[in-house]
Amino acid sequence: MDRTPMLEIRRVSKRFQVGGDVIEALSPVDLAIARGEFVCLLGASGCGKSTLLRIIAGFEAASAGEVLAAGKTVAGPGPDRGMVFQDYALFPWMTVRQNIAFGPRQRGLPRDEVSDIATRYAAMVGLGRFADRYPHQLSGGMKQRVAIARCLANEADVLLMDEPFGALDALTRAKLQDELLEIWQRTRTTIIFVTHSVEEAVLLADRVVVMSASPGRVDSDHPVGLPRPRDVSSADFNALRRMITDRLTSHLVAKAA
C-alpha cells in the first residue's frame, strides 16, 4: 500500500456556542490516513465522529487546526471528497442513472462520457437493471448503493461514510458490507467510515480509531492485521473485538466514576 498520507488532520478542534455556553466538541485531534487505506472511526454518540467527518468534508470549519487532503488545505467541500450519509441524500426527482451522473455532468464532461460513467458505476454497485428507477422505487440498501456510486462517479479520492448502514436491517447491512469491501478492493479509494459497531469496524477496516467524548479526541488506534475475508466467529477476530470493546468502554466507566 502507498503510505503517502491522503489525509492529514492536524490539531483540529471544534467549539460550538450554545446559548451563553461554549461546548468543546473536539479537542485537538491528530490523525494521518494513507492513500487507499480503509479507516473506521468508532465511538459512542457525542464523541465527535460525525463532526470530524464534516470538517474533513469541508462542510464545517474547524475552530483551530487544519485538514490537508493530498497535501492541500481543506477550505470547503470539493469533488475529491465524497460524502455518504445514513439517510442517502439522493435527489428524489432524478433516476438512479441521473443521480450517479450528477457530478460528472456538473464538471462539464461530454454527454456520451457522462452516460458511460453512469452506466459503469450503476453496474459496479449492482444496479444496472434499475438505472431508470427513481429513489422512491428502491429499497434502503439500493438507495445506499446509489449514494456510493454517485461519490465514486465523481472520482472522489476519499469516501467519507457517516454510519451509512445504520438504518438497514441486519441482512441488508451484511450484504452491503461485503459489496463495499469488494468495491474498495477494486478501486482502492481511501475510506473513512464512522460506525457505532465494533464488529462492523473490525470486519471492514485496516485500522480502527477509537474516539472518546467530552470533548472528542483520539483515544486509541488499532491496526487490524486479520486477512480478508474475515470470519466474525474466529478466535482472532473476537479477541480483537474484545480488546477494542474494552478500550471503547474504559473511558465511559472512568467518566461515570
Q: Give the pLDDT confidence of 39-90 residue by residue, as tens digits.
A: 999 988 778 888 999 999 999 999 999 999 999 999 999 889 999 988 878 9
Contacts of residue 251, Cβ cutoff 8 Å, sequence gap at least 6 = 212, 213, 219
Mean pLDDT to the nearest integer, 188-203: 94
Sheet holding 64-69, edge to edge: 21-34, 5-18, 64-69, 72-73
How confident is the model at residue 257, as a pLDDT?
Answer: 46
- pLDDT greater than 50 at residue 36: yes
What pLDDT shows up at residue 252? Answer: 58
* Beta strand spans in the chain (E): 5-18, 21-34, 38-42, 64-69, 72-73, 81-84, 158-162, 190-195, 207-212, 217-223
pLDDT tens for 220-235 read: 999 999 999 999 999 9
Higher pLDDT, 10 or 166: 10
- Residue pLDDT, tens place only, 89-111: 899 999 999 999 998 998 899 99
Domains of the chain: 5-80+158-256 (3.40.50.300), 90-155 (no CATH)
User: What local confidence, expressed as pLDDT, does residue 230 receive?
Assistant: 94
The span from the CA of 214 to the CA of 251, in Å, is 10
The pLDDT, as a whole number, for residue 143 is: 92
Higher pLDDT, 214 or 163: 163
Structure confidence at residue 254 (pLDDT): 55
Percent of residues, the chain, with pLDDT higher than 70: 96
